[in-house]
Amino acid sequence: MLVRWVPQTEERPGVLLAVDAQPDGTIGIKRFWKGNFIFVTENVVGEPGFKAFRPIEKIKGQLRLKSNQELTSGENSWGFSLEQYKMPAEEFYDRLEGLINPSPLDPEIALRELYRALHELLLVRVEAVEIAEKFKREHPGYLIPMPDGPAVFISTGPWEDYSTPNRDLRLLIAMDTVKEFIGKVMKRPERYKIKKGESLTEIKKRLEDLSRKLADELSIVYRRSDGSPWKLTVKEILEREEALEMGYNPNDCVEIRWGAPAGSEEISTCKGRAPRNQVEKMEKLRTWFKKRLHPPT
């Protein structure tokens, strides 16, 4: 649910904020961007995009939803529109970006905000994975049943509460967005506040240097299977893209869920792996993560 729109200023980008509740019981404030909001108009059940509450009226003691025609006619029009459903995803995000930040952004400030938003997603994922680990510690030996097919993305019971396929799909999209940002600036420099006389080559180098710096500086710490803390930089996580396509199963040890490489010191504390039949199910669904698409559910 949208709760606040923070206007753009000279020093910072605008931010559109929403409150979001998850099946694991966590509630948080999240910013609108590709990493938090999946917009897909094909092969999806229901309708994507933003929605307003449809007005309800009471007639002769009966409650009735207003029709689309009623929402678009008369003096009290509610501004009903299907415009967003006709947009390709990239156009949708571009239009929203233009509304949230109507003035050209300093590319360095924009890049910093992207890294900050990615870091926020990672911190929330640390909490979500730890909630699943806590459940496992309290229920030793219990195997969380895994649904078949696309139902892994929307289910019930412990799988819905402790798995992270939707969260991880958004995370992968967020990682792509960060990686693609410099190319986006090179392609559309007119959308950014460029220093006078600075060439695209100079801008690219400045942003690449900043990107490396931010990726090394920002980090998360998760609790391994033996309780010991393990630190990962954003740079390391960005390099674990493929492993994170298979990191959503709560029956896997926490090290695997964070993409620990085989044979590494990090994975040496791992105390369990999801059963082979569940891993095979995940392999069949992996294409959705590679395509960065949510399957019809």
pLDDT tens for each residue of 208-261? 999 999 999 999 999 999 999 999 999 999 999 999 999 999 999 999 999 999
Burial of 274 (0-12, 13-18, 19+ CB in 10 A): buried
Q: Which of 104, 97, 102 minimizes the C-alpha distance to 189?
A: 104
Q: Which pLDDT score is estimated for 22?
A: 73
The string of pLDDT tens digits covering residues 95-119 is 998 899 999 999 999 999 999 999 9
Paired with 18 in beta bridges are: 2, 30
Q: Measured between alpha carbons, how far is 260 from 105 in angstroms, rounded to an integer?
A: 36
Task: Count, in order, helices (H) and strands (E) of the chain.
Answer: 10, 7
Q: Measured between alpha carbons, how far is 236 from 256 in angstroms, rounded to an integer?
A: 14
Report which DSSP code applies to 170.
H
Q: Which of 36-40, 176-180, 256-260 has the lowest mean pLDDT?
A: 36-40
Q: Measured between alpha carbons, how far is 56 from 13 in angstroms, rounded to an integer?
A: 36
Q: Which pLDDT score is estimated for 42?
A: 67
Contact 165, 153 (CB under 8 A): yes
Would you say residue 168 has pLDDT above 80? yes
Contact 137, 227 (CB under 8 A): no
The string of pLDDT tens digits covering residues 13-28 is 899 999 888 776 778 8
Q: Which of 189, 173, 183 minimizes the C-alpha distance to 105?
A: 189
Which two three-digit tokens encode residue 80? 């009903």
Q: Which pLDDT score is estimated for 47?
A: 67
The string of pLDDT tens digits covering residues 77-94 is 777 888 888 888 888 988
Residue type at 237 in one-letter notation: I
Chain mean pLDDT for the chain: 91
Q: Which pLDDT score is estimated for 46?
A: 57
Q: Which pLDDT score is estimated for 6?
A: 93
Q: Measured between alpha carbons, how far is 108 from 202 in angstroms, rounded to an integer?
A: 13
Q: Which of 45-59, 201-215, 282-296 has the lowest mean pLDDT?
A: 45-59
- With a CB cutoff of 8 Å and minimum separation 6, the contacts of 210 are 108, 111, 112
According to the per-residue pLDDT averaged within each range, which of 6-15, 28-37, 221-230 is highest?
221-230
Q: Which of 153, 154, 171, 238 minimizes the C-alpha distance to 36?
A: 171
The string of pLDDT tens digits covering residues 179-216 is 999 999 999 898 899 888 889 999 999 999 999 999 99
**pLDDT tier at 176, thresholds 50, 70, 90:** very high
**pLDDT tier at 52, thresholds 50, 70, 90:** confident
Residue type at 150 in one-letter notation: P
Q: Which pLDDT score is estimated for 44?
A: 58
Contact 275, 252 (CB under 8 A): no
Direct distance between the N- and C-terminal alpha carbons of the chain, in angstroms, rounded to an integer = 22
In degrees rounded to 5, what are phi and psi of residue 152? -65, -25
What HEC string does 177-245 produce?
Answer: HHHHHHHHHHHCHHHECCCCCCCHHHHHHHHHHHHHHHHHHCEEEEECCCCCEEEEEHHHHHCCHHHHC
Q: For the chain, what percent of residues have pLDDT higher than 90?
A: 65
Q: Which pLDDT score is estimated for 73?
A: 77
Q: Which pLDDT score is estimated for 28?
A: 80
In degrees rounded to 5, what are phi and psi of residue 57? -120, 155
